[in-house]
Structure 1
Amino acid sequence: MQHVWLIRAGVEAEYIDPMRQAGIIALRDDEFGDALAELVVPLDQTPGEPADAVAATMGTELKSFLNEVKQGDIVVTPNPKRHEVWLSLVAGEYLYDPNPAIDGYRHTRPVTWLGWLDRDARWMVEQSKAIDQPVALIELYNREWWWKQLDSTELTTVARATWAPERPARQRSTTPSTRKPKLVVPVKPKVTPMVLCAGRCGLQWNPPILVNGLCPDCRGD
C-alpha cells in the first residue's frame, strides 16, 4: 500500500489555494537549493556517505520529500482557517523551481487535488491528533483509513468561502415564569356631549340627529 503524508501548505495553510491552483505541494527550505544536486555523490566517495557537509545537514523533512514521498502517495493538507482537510495524490517526481509561483516554496512535487473532508466531523476526531502535529511534513500511519476516504461521499471539491462555528439552537425554558402579567387597562369609549335642540321641545339630542339645530319633532319629520 502507498504511503500517506501530512504536508502543510504554510504555517496556517495560507498557501493552500495557490498550491491547488498550481497543482503542486511544496516545502520551504531557504538553506538549500536543488535537493537533487545537493545529494549527488561524487565517484570517489564511499556509497552511503553524504555528498558534503551541506547534504549531511539537510533537513529531515526535505530528505523525506525528495526520497521517500513517491508517486501515488496520499498527501493530507489541513486548512485550519476553513476547517478543511484536503487530500491529494502525488503525481510526479521532485522538482526544484528557482522561480516559484509561491515565494520561497522552491521544493515542489506535482499533485492531483481530490477534495476536502470536514475537520469537525465526528469521524475525524480520531485523526485530529495526527493532523495537528506542528510539522511541515510527517508520515501518517493510519493508511487504510485515509485510503478509504478517497471513495468517501464526504469528499468535497469546492472550497469553503469562509467558516463560522455553528450556533446552538435556542431552547425554550421549561421553568415557569415568575414575572407577573401586565395589567390591561380598558380604554373608555369617548362620549359625545348632548346638544340642546334650538326648537320648542327644549330637549337635548345627539348632534348627528339635529339638522340646522332642530330635532325631528321640531322639524315635523
Structure 2
Amino acid sequence: MFRTRACSAVPVSVRVGAAGLAAVLVLGGCSGSGNPEAEAAQGSSSASPRGSASSGETATPAGTPVPTAVYKPATAAGPAENVPLPVMPELAKEKSKEGLEAFAEYWFSLVNYGYETGDTSLVKELSGPECELCEAFYVAIEKGYEGENWVQGGTLSIVALGTKFVETPKGRYQVILSIKSAPGNDRGPNGLIYREHTPSKDSFAQIMEATYMEGRWVVDLVEGI
C-alpha cells in the first residue's frame, strides 16, 4: 500500500501484473499533474534499455568484425530482446546532492530494466527491506513473467527531479520526482492480454528516500505525494 496526500492508497493484488504496477508507481488512480516542490532539474530517465555497456561492433579472435545483438522492444508477439543493461554512473556513487539525483535516475532505469526483462535482482541490491513499493514491484514482475508470459511497455520516465539534500531524523535523504508512465500490457502466448494499462497523460509527484551506507545509496522508500 502506498500513502498519498491527495488520494487513497493503491492496493497491489496478487495478480496486479507488471504493467499494472506502473499505475501504482505513478498513482494511476489519481489525476492531475505533479510538479516537484524541490528544485527540479529537467531531464529524462526513460530506462536505458538493458544490455552490454558497449555498442556497435565487436571483433572475433580472427579479427573479423561482427555486429552486436540488436535491442528489440517487446511486442504483441513476444518479450523484449537484447535489452541493454543500465550502467551506474560514477556520480551516482557519491554522497552529494548531484550524486543522489544521479542515483535516483539510475534506480528508475533498473525498474524499467525489470519491466523489459523480468529481472529485479539489481533493484533488490539497491533497495532496503522497508521499501514497500519495491516489494510490490518484485511480486508484480514475477507474476508478469510467469511461464511464457511477458510485459509490453509500462516503463517510466522522469520528467524532473530535485533534492535539498537535507538529512532526515532517520538519516535519510529525500528526492522529489515528477514521473510519467508509458502504456503497457501484461501479455501471454497467442495474443492473450491479462491486463491493459493506459496511464494519464499528466505526470505525478513521487518522493524517494535513500540512505548512504558503506559507500553506496540504498532506497528505503518510494511513494506518491
Class of the TM-score when normalised by the shorter of the 2 chains: under 0.3
> TM-score under structure 2 normalisation?
0.21
Q: Which has the higher contact order (CA 8 A, sep 6+)?
A: 2
More strand by percentage: 2
Greater gyration radius: 1
TM-score of the aligned structures, taking structure 1 as reference length: 0.21
